[in-house]
Amino acid sequence: MMNDGRPFGLYINGRFQPASTGRTIKVENPKDRSHLADVAEGDEKDIDLAIDAAERAGKIWAATPGAVRGDIMHRAGELLAKKLPELVTIEVDQIGRARREMTAQLGRLPEWFRYFGALARTHEDTVPPFGGNFLNYTRRVPLGVVGHVTPWNHPLLILTKKIAPSMAAGNTMVVKPSELAPITPLLLGDIFKEAGVPDGVYNVVPGYGATAGKALTTSKRIKKIDLTGGTETGKMVASLAGANLTKVAAELGGKAAVILFDDTPIERGVAAALFASFIATGQTCVQGARLLVQRSVHDAVVAELVRRTNMIRIGDPQDMATQMGPLVSAKQRELTERYVKIGLEEGATLAAGGKRPDGKAFESGYYHQPTIFTGVTGNMRIAQEEIFGPVVVVIPFDTEEEAIALSNGTEFGLATSIWTRDVTRAHRVAHRLESGIVWINDHHRIDPCSPWGGFKMSGIGRENGIVAYEEYTQIQNVIVNLSDEPFDWYADDGHEKRYS
């Protein structure tokens, strides 16, 4: 599936082609900074060409019966499943995430195409009751051409969460992937072509936010922008798209809390915290970045957490024995190191990690140790701001009320997990959390049927589930007068007129 060393082209109208400027983006492997590939760098002209192709294809795809779209999407899911080993390898090389994690994550991608393919076939319109002798029905119709702006941390998973409902609903699309991880989104084009997706339905234009991203966001021909990224980027995109009243969905930043009540066994609580905090080297919007621990078990939890954190195996992400790979870039590691310094300046205690790992094997890559801070208060910057690296803060609490206040005490509201054996308390706390996703005795759990998105500054709109499919449509209401009786409002016949 990888090319023969030539630059990857833009994927427009079912084929790869060079960028209009001839420029390319150098993609590197974060484990050793080696040159992975060159990818065409698109700009405004290329975005326009992609939208042209998507508009032409839209006439075909929107008119394709939902059952046929569903069958094509099922085939795409099966083809994706067959190509997973190679896609996993490329994804690991792009972003440095441990292969054991990437294999598990990408192994689930076909589920999204099966679920939304089934929804394309089975989704029903409505016949709302209407007074009088009328037939009143609604139709869900596609929006048209939509723009997907995707990040580097989960290139294929996040892209799949967007394109599956979009494609199922009959839309065509232009994707602007992150310049750090554009290869696997491009390779999906061949999979869709083989599955029978018409040329032009799926188009990919790698590039930078200031050029390709801005052109996509400000185009009057784009009917919806679906972005995953940082909160500041989300605000900017929403502002630009708003000039054209373009719909916007945005899954943005997070500072998820993991709430550990003292009836949770220490071993289970620590295992939960490790998974929530350090999966994907902490580079995920639902990272359990704040561990809130009931004071009666705080010291025991911290001791075991530090012990287990120091045992995490850092290394070559392609090695199945590796538990944590590098950060994605020099910029991301520098950001992590800056926040470690901030934490120390704020008076927090560094309980584990806090620096680059020792050894020649780590010198050329963007590695950083998993890091734990204790002695943290809720108003410290390391407890408030999204770091997007392997850094977690531990904060004690005494009462349920205090745990809720701490959890809700940031501008974010994407995800929270609650750990307790008390089912009544679990639901009571969940209902008071300002969080779009709440897990009870779990974390990071996702399914194509389950809505995904945040409150507050963590975004607008939802991925997954029927709600995502419907957000990629607009409603047309058709009202049919079934009466043969003439209607003349202005007739001077002495009869009382009734309009509604």
The residues assigned a catalytic role are: 251, 285
- Cβ atoms of residues 210 and 218 within 8 Å: no
The CA distance from 243 to 238, in Å, is: 9
Q: Region of 130 please: left (phi>0), alpha (psi -120 to 50) or beta.
A: beta
- Cβ partners under 8 Å of residue 241, min gap 6: 217, 218, 222, 225, 247, 248
**Dihedral (CA of 39, 43, 49, 52) sign:** positive
Strands 371-374 vs 415-419: parallel, antiparallel or unpaired: unpaired
Nearest to 17 by CA among 26, 28, 6: 6
Amino acid (1-letter code) at residue 22? G
Phi, psi of 46 (to 5 degrees): -70, -35
Q: Which residue has the tokens 């975004």?
A: 459
User: What one-character-per-residue DSSP string does 34-66 give?
Assistant: EEEEEEE---HHHHHHHHHHHHHHHHHHTTS-H
- Cβ atoms of residues 420 and 434 within 8 Å: no
